[in-house]
Amino acid sequence: MKLSYYGQHYSGPSAIVTLMDDLGSALRAHPGLLMMGGGSPARIPEVEQLFQQTLQQIAGDAEQAQLLLGRYQGPKGDLAVRELLAQQLAEEQGWPLTADHIALTNGGQSAFGIIANMLAGSSDMGHRTLHFPLVPEYLGYADAGIEPGSFSASQPTIKFLDDGLFKYTLDPALTIPVSAAALCVSRPTNPSGNVLSDAELQWLDAAARQRDIPLIIDAAYGLPFPALHYSDDSNPYWSDNVILLLSLSKVGLPGVRSGFVIAKPEFIEAFSRANTILNLAVGNLGPALALLLLQDRRLQRLSREVLQPWYKAKAETALRLMQTALLGVPCHIHVPQGAFFLWLWLPGLPISTTQLYEELKLAGLLVIPGDGSFFALHSPWQHSHECLRLSYAVSDQCLQQGSVILAQVLRRIFA
Ligand SMILES: Cc1ncc(COP(=O)(O)O)c(C=O)c1O
């Protein structure tokens, strides 16, 4: 095959494709494996029922079904849902938004890819990078940059907490490279379950503004939906210097491939032009479901009253089970403040996390090795070879069995 640099880059080896592939084939080969590796949301009957009813409501109405299936949306997506979301965010958060501040997307992953390449890479200003001020970060970002060296990153500070817990915070001596085209954080953070504080976000926003570059906040797990924040001291954040990414996936709709970008109108206009060239239009199902779920604010209520407490309780159960099972194993767990992952740090791990991943798979447990989440760091860091991500969007039985398998394998490896 004779491919362009673009073709070679996107069809070559990449962490996210290898991982999605391996998780899929491992499950096909061993259907009994305990799946704590993926990023799928949990199955919650009440939530599934609501989505099914909403889908039936649309499908049962000839006019709505025709609008769902039989037309393209304009470049920014359905006006009614953009107007409604802007109005509700203005009322709930005091953000001065109009429909022109919002574009619909085919999910956070595709939105991130477009935005990253709109900002980072070659330009009149030289080669510029999207800078991650705190890694580990979402593995799915790693290969999204078309040009080599599109991303850069800074190490965090590690704070040790009680009960073997730890927490990443922004390095107080953080310097933003002069070549930075934007800063980017996921909040809550995949993979660590960290939630940057309001003060940290304000600091990043001010530092970005000083450089005249935007701050990208990927709130795929965050506020206002699905609202998977477990402490009271983190609030939704937006300013006219922020590009905020929202997604319907972690609410329970990853199959719908739908999300929102919220930014100043000038950026939304540019983004929606790029999105139209690459995608022609966004899918209609996400916006159609969102419109019905936003009317009477069911989406926000579902997030606050069902999803948030459900995942918070799971986080507590998962942490308790892991801490009990791993007693005596050299392991710190990142304090689970949001999203639905436990992030384990195994100081002195004598094998690579990929070998550990394989050992765990053989023993019946699927996890995610952590190395890939430190993708944009350009200097060696031992910590980046000692971490592991486990999803707790699973049954209590799976958590229980998974913690036993993990403890057995780690005890053998550290013996
Ligand atoms: C932080 C983060 N951003 C974006 C995505 C992609 O989400 P979407 O399904 O909206 O493309 C994920 C998926 O796991 C994620 O963890």
pLDDT one digit per residue (tens) for the chain, 415 residues: 899 988 988 888 787 787 777 777 877 878 889 999 889 999 999 999 999 999 999 999 999 999 999 999 999 999 999 999 999 999 999 999 999 999 999 999 999 999 999 999 999 999 999 999 999 999 999 999 999 999 999 999 999 999 999 999 999 999 999 999 999 999 999 999 999 999 999 999 999 999 999 999 999 999 999 999 998 778 999 999 999 999 999 999 999 999 999 999 999 999 999 999 999 999 999 999 999 999 999 999 999 999 999 999 999 999 999 999 999 999 999 999 999 999 999 999 999 999 999 999 999 999 999 999 999 998 999 999 999 999 999 999 999 999 999 999 999 999 8
| Residue of 110, 249, 258 with the most ligand 1 atoms within 8 Å of its CB, for mutation | 249
Q: Given 259, 277, 296, which residue is the final one in a domain?
A: 296
Question: Is 201 in the same domain as 333?
Answer: no
Centre of ligand 1 to C-alpha 383, Å, is 24
Residue 15: what pLDDT? 77
Residue 23: what pLDDT? 76
Question: Is 123 in the same domain as 171?
Answer: yes
Question: Is 218 in the same domain as 143?
Answer: yes
Question: Is 144 in the same domain as 201?
Answer: yes
Q: Given 236, 264, 296, which residue is the final one in a domain?
A: 296
Q: Given 259, 281, 296, which residue is the final one in a domain?
A: 296
Residue 306: what pLDDT? 97
Give pTM, 2 decimals: 0.97
Residue 412: what pLDDT? 96
Question: Is 268 in the same domain as 332?
Answer: no
Question: Is 219 in the same domain as 280?
Answer: yes
Confirm whether 198 is domain-assigned. yes
Confirm whether 68 is domain-assigned. no
- State if residue 373 touches ligand 1 by the CB under 6 angstroms criterion: no
3-state secondary structure the chain: CCCCHHHHHHHCCCHHHHHHHHHHHHHHHCCCCEECCCCCCCCCHHHHHHHHHHHHHHHCCHHHHHHHHCCCCCCCCCHHHHHHHHHHHHHHHCCCCCHHHEEEECCHHHHHHHHHHHHCECCCCCCEEEEECCCCCCHHHCCCCCCCCCEEECCCEEEECHHHEEEEECCCCCCCCCCEEEEEEECCCCCCCCCCCHHHHHHHHHHHHHHCCCEEEECCCCCCCCCCECCCCCCCCCCCCEEEEEECHHHHCHHHCCEEEECCHHHHHHHHHHHHHHHCCCCCHHHHHHHHHHHHHHHHHHHHHHHHHHHHHHHHHHHHHHHHHCCCCCCEEECCCECCEEEEECCCCCCCHHHHHHHHHHHCEECEECHHHHCCCCCCCHHHHCEEEEECCCCHHHHHHHHHHHHHHHHHHHC
- State if residue 105 touches ligand 1 by the CB under 6 angstroms criterion: no
Question: Is 283 in the same domain as 260?
Answer: yes
Centre of ligand 1 to C-alpha 268, Å, is 20
Among protein residues, the one whose CA lies closest to atom 7 of ligand 1 = 108
Confirm whether 59 is domain-assigned. no
Confirm whether 142 is domain-assigned. yes
Into how many domains does the chain fold? 2
Question: Is 112 in the same domain as 259?
Answer: yes
Confirm whether 53 is domain-assigned. no
CATH number of the domain residue 275 falls in:
3.40.640.10
Question: Is 29 in the same domain as 146?
Answer: no
Centre of ligand 1 to C-alpha 203, Å, is 24
- State if residue 218 touches ligand 1 by the CB under 6 angstroms criterion: yes
CATH number of the domain residue 306 falls in:
3.90.1150.10
Question: Is 245 in the same domain as 106?
Answer: yes
Centre of ligand 1 to C-alpha 412, Å, is 34
The residue segments making up the domain with residue 353 are 5-47+302-414
Confirm whether 380 is domain-assigned. yes
Among protein residues, the one whose CA lies closest to atom 14 of ligand 1 = 39
- State if residue 109 touches ligand 1 by the CB under 6 angstroms criterion: yes
Confirm whether 96 is domain-assigned. yes
Question: Is 133 in the same domain as 243?
Answer: yes
Question: Is 266 in the same domain as 321?
Answer: no
Centre of ligand 1 to C-alpha 305, Å, is 22
- State if residue 186 touches ligand 1 by the CB under 6 angstroms criterion: yes
Confirm whether 364 is domain-assigned. yes
